Amino acid sequence: MKRLVIYFHYDPAGRIDTACRVAVQAMQKYARVIFVTNGTLNPADRVWVRQSGAGRIERENTGFDVGAYREALLSLGREELAGYEEVILMNYTLAGPVCTLEPMLAAMDARLELDFWGLTRHYAMKSARFGGNVPEHIQSHFLALRPRLFNSEDFWRYWQEMKLPESYEQSVICHETRFTPYFAAKGYVWDTYVQTDDMKDVFVNPIMACPRELLQNRGCPFFKRRSLFTPYADELRRTDGMAARELCGYIQSETDFPLDLLVVSLLKTQPLAALAQNLHWRYLVEKRHTAPADPAALGLKLIRYELPAADPVTDWYNQQAAAEADALLGEAAAWFEKEPLLGILSPSVPLYAGCTAARRAQWLAALPALREKAPVPVDEAPLPAPNCGWMLVRESAFPDGIPECKTQLDAWRLVLTAQENGAYAAPFETAAQAVARADILNAYETAAARPADVAKQLGRLIKHRLQK
């Protein structure tokens, strides 16, 4: 089948990361690819596109993926598209493939009745954010069009009349959730390759809620890179919070996809806290009878910095955590052998609530100064590490040398520099602390289910604040 792929890309720094390159090269085995980027590519990345044999369109960063697809389609025009048997609109938010594309393409080639098809679907739901009633639809990250559709007046009128969105929400409303029902109502036949109707009463968005299931058991060759950094609070409202961790475990054990290289690129573009929560970058450390690892032999350096004073109880717990970390130094160091992207390891924030509150207050106070010079994105969620004035640092994560670190602000800047260099920071704790953390969470969840207990706790909080 003669195919054309219009591949949409965006990176604020104009980089084409490894995941994009893998996807483009995989599609080029089956199609001509036109690479459309919103913005300006780095010169070296522009050279890569040319050498890959792909066409290239660089455009103003307007209209999100909708604007990119529209410009590419209108630039090519009806006459050129008429020479293809299939046109695929695909974007960089998909990572992969984790397996050969042959089964998917062969299966859908045999579906001669289809006028358009997609990789996955999103089921109907109610959402005020996306216009109220969201219909069942093909997700716009991979949409294949057949001649009966793209040679029609209906198709070209759709794009010519398209108002370019000014926000992500508008792009979903005006195109992603509209395209499928709009053309289905005109009699065009559609379906998706990945079949998930058996779980539509469980998850409205299976590729995000259970990506491992789609890859492992339903032949899906791609996954969403957003799985690794989606807002974790949203995940916990919809799932058990393990989707990204299970996905990555499957990819690492069962595929050849270069997951670490994707993580390195995401560290440059996403807040560390979001990645750490989704991937559960928290490590268990226990005193062993065997000889512990030698930090110096592993290229590690122990750094202590001055922790801002808080209340006496908080200070006491932070000091205890740092002292206990000293006794686990060798065991903590062993994690650097297992996790090649781990750059900084520190004790977890003590379980005392005052420690968490103090750290958040310190972070928010420092946030304007951090944002001013941060080489990577930062948000209001505090960095997962360092904590307690103690951290174990991989020297190779700092090719220009480890900067001086004396204060909490210095420590946070150190983490952001490591992140820019493709390394992450994480906390560690003992198994006993992990069990206690789970018990505390269970106590909070139990209390939250009883309105009277919530009101009581709120009353105590108000009383405490008034007394201050």
Q: Is residue 421 located within the same domain as residue 290?
A: yes
Query: 10 Å Cβ neighbour count for 168?
Result: 13
Q: Is residue 401 located within the same domain as residue 294?
A: yes
Q: Is residue 78 located within the same domain as residue 164?
A: yes
Residue with tokens 């977890």: 348
Residue 92 counted as domain residue? yes
CA separation for the pair 308, 446 (Å, rounded): 34
Task: Show the low-confidence residues of the chain (pLDDT under 50).
Answer: none
Per-position DSSP letters for 226-250, written without gaps between them: GGGTS-HHHHHHHS-S-HHHHHHHH
Query: 10 Å Cβ neighbour count for 302?
Result: 15
CA separation for the pair 58, 183 (Å, rounded): 29
**Among 203, 234, 267, which residue terminates a domain?**
203
Per residue in 345-382, pLDDT (tens digit) is: 999 999 999 999 999 999 999 999 999 999 999 999 99
**Among 174, 203, 232, which residue terminates a domain?**
203
Residue 235 counted as domain residue? no
CA separation for the pair 274, 382 (Å, rounded): 10
Per residue in 226-252, pLDDT (tens digit) is: 999 999 999 999 999 999 999 999 999
Residue 389 counted as domain residue? yes
- Distance of CA 172 to CAs 130, 158, 180, 182, 363, Å? 7, 15, 12, 14, 34
Per-position DSSP letters for 403-434, written without gaps between them: PP--BHHHHHHHHHHHHHTT-EEEEEE-HHHH
Q: Is residue 116 located within the same domain as residue 43?
A: yes
Question: Tell me, what's the pLDDT at 457?
Answer: 62
Q: What residues make up the domain containing 449?
A: 439-467
Q: Is residue 330 located within the same domain as residue 362?
A: yes
Residue 284 counted as domain residue? yes
CA separation for the pair 387, 411 (Å, rounded): 9
**Among 181, 203, 225, which residue terminates a domain?**
203
Question: Tell me, what's the pLDDT at 450?
Answer: 77
Question: Tell me, what's the pLDDT at 451?
Answer: 72
Question: Tell me, what's the pLDDT at 440?
Answer: 86
Kind and range of the H or E run holding 121: strand 121-122
Residue 50 counted as domain residue? yes
